[in-house]
Amino acid sequence: MKNFSFLLLLLIFFFSACEDDETPDNPNEATLQNAVNHYAELVHANYEDAHADAVLLKAKVDALVANPSENTLTEAKNAWLAAREPYGQTEAYRFYGGPIDDEDGPEGQLNAWPLDESYIDYVNTTTNAGEVPDGTNIINSLAEFPEITKGVIASLNENGSETNVSSGYHAVEFLLWGQDLSSGPGGGERPYTDYVTDGNGTNANQERRGTYLKEVTQLIVDDLQSLVDEWAPGGAFRTSFTADEELDNSLSNIVSGLGKLSKGELAGERMYVALDLVSKEDEHSCFSDNTHRDIVNNALGIQNVYLGRYKKTDGSTLSGTGIYDVLKLEDTVLADEIKTKMEASVAASQAIQAPFDQEILAEPGKTRIRTAINLLREQGDLLAEAASVLGFTFDPDDI
Amino acid sequence: MKFSQGLIILIIALLHMACQEASESPWTEDWKEEGEQFSGGDATISDESVNAFGHAAPNLTGDKDLQFVTGNSFFKRNWVTAPASTEDLDGLGPLFNARSCSSCHDLDGRGAPPLSPDEQPVSLLFRLSKPSPDIAWETIPDEHYGEQLNTLAILGIKPEGDVSVSYQEISGTYADGETYSLRKPNYAFKNLKYGAFSHDMMVSPRIAPQMIGLGLLEAIDEATLQSFADPDDANGDGISGRINYVEDRITQKKSIGRLGWKANQPSVRQQIASAFRGDIGITSSLFPEQPCASQDEDCLQSISGGEPELTEDILDRVTLYSETLAVPIRRNWNDAVVLQGKSLFNQSGCTSCHIATIKTGIHPDYPEFSDQTIHPYTDLLLHDMGEGLADGRPDGEASGTEWKTPPLWGIGLMHVVSGHTFLLHDGRARNMEEAILWHGGEAQKSQQAFVNMSKTEREAVLKFLESL
């Protein structure tokens, strides 16, 4: 018996010696299950808000097309701006091949950028030969595109070797605001008369433009509905995501999504690139000059998930177990450090002034942007550190 | 009692062995070189994942890692039709093959040929030219189709045509009696905008290669490359590496070609600018003219996205990005079978062209890449690869049968990053084995050595290549 224990001890000793590194104990299973369940709840609530706002946007777009006026155009624009608020926060659910950006996910159709605006509608220009363009774009090429439907738009969005961006929020934005031709502050200035069909309208094919606007908005509504369905209680993705055997994997997806949005996408792609090259209109919402809100909503979306709380469009707050609680079981100091960093990064994002395309040009705007970039980069690295504490790895630069 | 003690000792011994790496035979040990796993010297990265080709060199200093982010962004972004509000990103086409760099170099990896005759190639393009009527050996662009077949175009412009790729199987036999089959490509051009190609059109298919380690290759001294060259085969080994001297648009002088399948580009910057124009239709300071052939009227009359379309800043960043992509570290480099494969690879003469170890010189822009000991497995020289691989289209001083030795570093991770194992300039080889078997001309002797190997030896060579 004594020998047997000795043998066992030896076995344990040698097996542990063979292991590459120490894997930490799993966080308390119950907390993990609660956190993943609550994440699914939060994602669902956020997509429901985004969907509801898109439905409202569709109603305002319908009203604009039915009765074009300064007033209906303004109402449609306001509905678009409102719809961007919940959607911007949902970007925290990207970058792990979830329903939004798995192989057949709608991300590219919903939010792709830069928009191929002159592929959609007229733009103000002349050709190399000094002639007014012949209107070769979807709205103005009747022969090539006899019918404009959401199906046609969706298929054209994939025309060519890859996406030809002609759908999503920024397509609607372009059709409401128009090209941003200003060199100073100010967004696009499309007149409501672009939708007037009684013969007194501006720019040709007003009816087809109205159809495009309605159909492309409906496509947003449809795509968001599919996301709401996947994340609904009993929904296909949610069921597997919250299943017992998937919890570790889901935790890894959640945290890596936050880190990648924070460092690679938001701090890198969306902010540093524009700042680095002082590139005009190198910003997401260039027609409406709403990029400053895109930044805040992304930063907020990250914090929502980490803290397990989300402020709904109706003003109520959904709160529950967050990633913070899971991490705290393993490393209190790091959990709090990330919490503090997120408060700072959200505040720094809110401090960036509109419009973004003027903020990048000179001080003190450049410093405000650089401050937010640095905090979001540090935040991404801290989330990668959190990942290794939780037993997995990811690269926050890899988007 | 005795039994238990014996058992314990046995278990200890067994477990101890399991913890150690496989024991090495002494002769393979001789082939082990300390540090050879760091293929890119200090610019080597440790990653075997799908993103293995996408990292910045870890030794970059200053703001270069942030500029790498900007470069990466423009490498991935889609260019749009001019004019657009995002004015730095417009000017696509009018004729083009892709909307972004990454649509062909996805994840900075290697492109693949179409899988069926109905599928249009994306990362396989076709260079075109005709013999010059004035000067023998010189080539000129086609007056209708230019220097490259552009299979896509912006709205209102007709693309130049479609390609249908099919293959013919050719069988062969190893010395040990095992058979193999190679596939020879056939290209049918359809829906051609200006009708069938003229009878003297020369067509060269080119697949998009991986992007790693390019700054290190730029840092190799001219004198080093000249020391590899043996244009008249003075040493009588049957291998006559030649330097391709090409026009350097930056210095306005003839320079050593280092990049491209025929070493027709002298620098990463010129390679990038050339691809922006040829593949995406984006003009730049180095290539200001639109990619329209002299008699392609609707192309010539379309809208430009600026003069030039590519800002100097963006060219700077994309160049930096492409120069600073790190080389992944080797896996299993000291495995006994891998070392056996390495010895066979050497003894078969493969390393006469696929040179294993090079010391870089001074890179003017990147001290990070200067004086590095690297293992690129290339000499950057042109070699006659035989009729089987010939495209029959001269390119600079490269003849119709010559190709540049491509670097082999990273090829073992190609299937992870790019999801396939298609090799050679047109992707005809389905794997490394077929790529070796296609070698002809100056490489015929090495190819024969491979054919004459035993199956175990051939597998060791492949195992070695997979470790790169």
Contact (CB, 8 A) for B182 and B438:
yes
The overall average pLDDT reported for chain A is 89
Strands of B18-157 (E only): list them.
44-45, 95-96, 124-131, 139-140, 152-153
Identify which of B52, B25, B32, B72 has the alpha carbon closest to the alpha carbon of residue B326.
Answer: B52
* Residue B301 confidence (pLDDT): 81
- Contact at CB, A162 and B67, closer than 8 angstroms: no
| C-alpha radius of gyration, chain B, whole number | 24
* Residue A26 confidence (pLDDT): 55
* Residue B297 confidence (pLDDT): 82
> Helix, strand, or coil here: A66?
helix
Residue-wise pLDDT tens digits, B13-57: 554 554 444 444 567 788 999 999 999 999 999 999 989 999 999
Q: What are phi and psi of B449, to 5 degrees?
A: -60, -40
Q: Closest Cα of chain A to B274: distance in Å?
A: 19
Residue-wise pLDDT tens digits, B308-364: 899 999 999 999 999 999 999 999 999 999 999 999 999 999 999 999 999 999 999
* Residue B20 confidence (pLDDT): 47
Answer whether residue B1 shows pLDDT above 60.
no
Strands of chain A (E only): list them.
309-311, 317-319
In sequence order, the β-bridge partners of residue A317 are: A311
Which residues have C-beta within 8 Å of that of residue B393, sequence separation ≥ 6? B127, B129, B139, B202, B203, B204, B400
More confident residue, B132 or B442: B442
Stretch 59-118 of chain B: residues touching chain A, C-beta under 8 Å: 66-67, 69-70, 72-74, 77-78, 80-90, 97-100, 103
* Residue A144 confidence (pLDDT): 85
Q: For the whole model, what pTM was predicted? A: 0.85
Contact (CB, 8 A) for A14 and A191:
no
CA angle (B277, B91, B97) in 5-degree steps: 50
Q: How many CA atoms lie within 13 A of A231 on its CB side?
A: 26
Interface test with A, best of B15, B75, B86, B307 (most A CBs within 10 A): B86
Q: Pinpoint the alpha helices (H) of A116-156.
A: 117-120, 150-156
Q: How far apart are CA B11 and CA A18, in angstroms?
A: 14
Contact (CB, 8 A) for A353 and A359:
yes
- Contact at CB, B81 and A116, closer than 8 angstroms: yes
Answer whether residue A19 shows pLDDT above 50.
no
- Contact at CB, A277 and B88, closer than 8 angstroms: yes
ipTM for the predicted complex = 0.76
Residue B67: list chain A partners with CB under 8 A: 276
- Quickly tell me which residue has 């005809």 as its tokens: B428
Q: How far apart are CA A322 and CA A36, in angstroms?
A: 8
In sequence order, the β-bridge partners of residue B164 are: B188
Q: How many CB atoms lie within 10 A of CB A59?
A: 14
Q: Closest Cα of chain A to B99: distance in Å?
A: 7
Q: How far apart are CA B125 and CA A59, in angstroms?
A: 47
Q: How far apart are CA B229 and CA A131, in angstroms?
A: 54
- Contact at CB, A18 and B19, closer than 8 angstroms: yes
B143: tokens are 């007056």
Answer whether residue A112 shows pLDDT above 90.
no
Residue-wise pLDDT tens digits, B237-272: 889 899 999 999 999 999 999 999 999 999 999 999
Contact (CB, 8 A) for A42 and A310:
yes
B384: tokens are 């006659």
Identify which of A44, A61, A45, A43 has the alpha carbon closest to the alpha carbon of residue A220.
Answer: A61
Residue type, B225: L
The gap from C-alpha A13 to its chain's centroid, in whole angstroms, comes to 49
Answer whether residue A364 shows pLDDT above 70.
yes
* Residue A282 confidence (pLDDT): 72
Residue B83: list chain A partners with CB under 8 A: 118, 123-125
- Quickly tell me which residue has 């990070």 as its tokens: B368
Q: Closest Cα of chain A to B194: distance in Å?
A: 21
Q: How far apart are CA B426 and CA B323, in angstroms?
A: 24
Residue-wise pLDDT tens digits, A121-154: 887 754 444 444 556 788 988 888 999 999 988 8
* Residue A187 confidence (pLDDT): 80
Residue B88: list chain A partners with CB under 8 A: 277, 279-282
* Residue B13 confidence (pLDDT): 52
- Quickly tell me which residue has 């996910």 as its tokens: A105
Stretch 378-397 of chain A: residues touching chain B, C-beta under 8 Å: 395, 397
Residue-wise pLDDT tens digits, A281-324: 678 888 999 999 999 999 999 999 999 999 999 999 999 999 99
Q: Number of helices (H) and strands (E) in chain A: give both, helices first.
A: 16, 2
Contact (CB, 8 A) for B128 and B144:
no
In sequence order, the β-bridge partners of residue B327 are: B44
A269: tokens are 């792609």
The overall average pLDDT reported for chain B is 92
> Helix, strand, or coil here: B373?
strand
Residue B313: list chain A partners with CB under 8 A: 276-277, 279
